[in-house]
């Protein structure tokens, strides 16, 4: 007989969504070059989507410049396209297999765009947390239906799962508020 939900597992899965959000926010840099700025970029290489750091070396030669050295000459165009299509507001300059990417000064309009991207990332994290909650609720309903759980146990555990969800969504909102403040600082 099962004794309920494994809250450690649900907590771990929800924390995973928050962790992914923090990683994505690491890519939203505010006017200063950083290799993590290109973390969200995936390149169509060899018939599959690959992270940019698996097809090129990313370095920071100057505070406002990124340098991307593509290893395979045939992929240089694909890397250029992937960076342009990533909605990061970056325009690479191709020099053979080397792409030089000037980091533009953040104007008010660009800051607003970055805040919108941050909100989109946060919403994806909230959705992921809600999916984990839905899995938990489905498990509880199945346990109750199969006679392994009383209605009171199910209600108590669903309340506990909802509280965990609320806490994670609050953490996501807090991380978003911090990032938004960082982006909007001039």
- List, for residues 5-38, the tens digit of each pLDDT value: 788 899 999 999 999 888 888 767 666 677 777 8
Against a cut of 0.75, is the pTM above it? no
Mean pLDDT of 102-116: 82
**Both structure tokens of 30:** 């505010």
- Domain extent, residue 52, equals 32-102
According to DSSP, the β-strands at 48-51 and 42-45 are: antiparallel
Mean pLDDT of 87-112: 83
Residues 116 and 97 in one domain: no
* Alpha carbons within 13 A on the beta-carbon side of 20: 18
**Both structure tokens of 41:** 């970029």
Task: Answer whether residue 179 is part of any domain.
Answer: yes
Task: Answer whether residue 98 is part of any domain.
Answer: yes
**Looking at residue 87, what DSSP letter applies?**
T
The CATH number covering residue 141 comes to 1.10.132.20
The residues with which 80 forms a beta bridge, in sequence order, are none
């Amino acid at each position: 007989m099962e004794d309920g939900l494994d809250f450690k597992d649900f907590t771990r899965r929800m924390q995973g969504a928050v962790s992914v959000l923090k990683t994505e926010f690491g890519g939203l840099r505010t006017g200063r070059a950083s290799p993590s700025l290109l973390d969200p970029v995936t390149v169509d290489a060899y018939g599959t989507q690959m992270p940019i750091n698996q097809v090129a070396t990313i370095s920071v030669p100057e505070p406002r410049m990124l340098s991307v050295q593509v290893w395979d000459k045939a992929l240089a165009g694909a890397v250029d396209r992937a960076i342009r299509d990533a909605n990061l507001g970056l325009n690479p300059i191709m020099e053979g297999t080397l792409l030089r990417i000037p980091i533009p000064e953040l104007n008010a309009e660009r800051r607003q765009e970055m805040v919108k991207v941050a909100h989109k990332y946060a919403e994806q994290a909230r959705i992921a947390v809600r999916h984990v909650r839905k899995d938990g609720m489905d498990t509880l309903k199945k346990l109750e239906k199969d006679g392994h759980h009383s209605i009171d146990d199910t209600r108590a555990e669903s309340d506990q799962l909802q509280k965990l969800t609320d806490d994670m969504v609050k953490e996501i909102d807090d991380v978003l508020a911090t990032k938004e403040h960082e982006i909007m600082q001039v």
